[in-house]
Amino acid sequence: MSCIEQMKYTIHLQRTSFKDAREYIEKNSDEVYYVSPGYKIFKDYYIIGIPPIAVGAKGNAFIFPYTKPCYGSFVLSIDNEDSIKEIDRLRETKGKETSSLKKDKPSESSKVTTTSYKDLWKK
């Protein structure tokens, strides 16, 4: 169990596909950054995901995807001192590297193949 499950978090989306989780984060964050699979957050959670993995900031809340093998993907947010640190870290590193603020970066989600699987899976 990662530390995420022991933290106070908000569930924005649950049991969905990773693609839907990414789109939710892109649409509902003030700032969006893209990280690689395995990007480490909150000391011991390594993000599972399909590149490009979107993570976001909304106020002081850090928004990110969380995937569980039996339950699908979730969008969670955490709003505390640690989330501010995570957002600052992204602003310092990713902001400089990729200009990945939402307004500057076109959505890369179009690269993801869209098939009927998502709908099948939801049934």
Partner 1 sequence: MTGARVLLMMGCPEIPIQTSIALYLSHKLTNLGFDVTVAGTTAASKLLKVSDSDGYYVKKLVDLDKTIVDIIEKRMDFDICFAFMHNDAGMTYATTMSSISQARMYSIVFGRNAEALAETIEFDCVKIVSQDVHNPVRIKNKLDKVMEEIIK
User: Out of 10, 36, 60, 99, which residue is the one contacting partner 1 (CB under 8 A)?
Assistant: 36
Residue with tokens 């709003």: 79
Stretch that binds partner 1, among 4-12, 49-57, 77-85, 96-104 (CB under 8 A): 49-57
Q: Does the protein bind partner 1 through residue 59 (CB under 8 A)?
A: no
Tokens representing 55 are 């993570």
C-alpha triplet 53, 17, 108: angle, nearest 5°: 35
Are 65 and 80 within 8 A, CB to CB?
no
- Interface residues with partner 1 (CB under 8 A) are 2, 17-19, 36-38, 40, 44, 46, 48-51, 67-73, 111-113, 115-118, 120-121
